Amino acid sequence: MKAGVLTQPHHIHLTAVETPEPKAGEVRIKLSKVGICGSDVHLFLGHRLLANPTVIGHEGLGMIDKIGEGVAGRHIGERVAVEPNIPCRQCRFCVSGRGNICINKRVVGLLEAGCFAEYVVLPADFARHVPDDISEEDAVVLEPTAVAVHALFSTQSKPGDTIAVIGLGAIGLLVTHLALALGYRVFVSELNETKRNMAADMGAIPTVPQGSLEEQSAELSNLWAENEVCAVFECAGSAFTASLATAAAPRGSEIVLVGLSANLASFQPLKIAREGIHIVPSIIYDHPFDFRRAMQLIRAKVIRPGFIISSYTDFDHLQAALELAAQGNESKIVVTI
């Protein structure tokens, strides 16, 4: 089969590799569409180095084309979405219901072969059946939608409350979309005008703070406090925005860390403790609940996450698509296989 192998930073090599065969309990998926995630871009740019050349990509959609021994209730031709984070279900975190931080977690497209390929093999439970009433556009962004669902529901906030979102990449836009659809009031901060306008068109209130960290913090702190913001979602994934979120968060609020910056951020412990601010980590999603919730919200026509797709490209132009995604102007590029 043809696969896109990240051989070194800034270089994806399209090459022929052995077609994988499903083992007991697994299914093979013939992929049709794969979204480019921000984490794929970070790997492509070398922000995180892989130990070996790897087929990256994890936002996959396709059809089951082969079923391994012992798998029941699945059929050839069944449309499925890839759930790429596979907990061991045996470690102390998994057995306590925290599989999203499993220490033995398998990660498709990072620790094992991913979805920028013609086929991928998964445990059957992680090839998520996609009902016919979910469109292709919504189905291919099901995985990042589950990330947004997990993030929003990880807080104590409720519909009718006011939240703030920093950073309008795919996840920030999806958190905004979900929150607005459920009746939240949402302030957004984003430098990119196109993405800011996308959020405003949905009903969000855009802000563009200016100046130093201290100046931006003062501006947002006043705005958020006046509007009783109860949760701040840091979705930009930079040390600066993480520091900004902790500096500007209103008294009694929650700071949800959704962005994945590996650089050191700063905060003032006195402010966090004295003002009763909670810092909440939100990493991926809980299996199988958040995928199920995301699909139900789509089927009930509460959300339409496919709106984040800004362009499509074919598999042969994967290198150019990753370079384009790295410029930061696209909300979601989908690769057709």
For 217-243, what is the mean pLDDT?
A: 97
Tokens for 6, please give them: 């990240």
For 255-259, what is the mean pLDDT?
A: 97
Containing 35, the helix (H) or strand (E) segment is: strand 26-35
Question: Does the structure show a pLDDT above 90 at 262?
Answer: no
| pLDDT, tens digit (0-9, with 9 covering 90-100), for 271-293 | 999 999 999 999 999 999 999 99
Identify the structural domains of the chain with CATH numbers, from first to last.
2-143+285-336 (3.90.180.10), 155-281 (3.40.50.720)
Tell me what the pLDDT averaged over the chain comes to.
96
| pLDDT, tens digit (0-9, with 9 covering 90-100), for 102-145 | 999 999 999 999 999 999 999 999 999 999 999 999 999 999 99
Question: Does the structure show a pLDDT above 90 at 309?
Answer: yes
Which distant-in-sequence residues (6+ apart) come within 8 Å of 73 by Cβ? none
Tokens for 224, please give them: 């958020």
Question: Does the structure show a pLDDT above 90 at 66?
Answer: yes
Question: Does the structure show a pLDDT above 90 at 266?
Answer: yes
pLDDT of residue 21: 97
Tokens for 143, please give them: 């995985």
Distance of CA 75 to the CA centre of its chain: 28
Helix %, strand %, coil % of the chain (to 5) = 35, 25, 40
pLDDT of residue 194: 95
Question: Does the structure show a pLDDT above 90 at 49?
Answer: no
Confidence band (pLDDT; 50, 70, 90) for 201? very high
Q: Write the CA distances from 298 to 66, 110, 304, integer angstroms.
A: 28, 28, 6
Between the two ends of the chain, the Cα-to-Cα distance in Å is: 11
Omega before residue 123 within 30° of 0, cis: no
Tokens for 198, please give them: 């996308």
For 258-273, what is the mean pLDDT?
A: 93
Question: 2 has which bridge partners?
Answer: 16
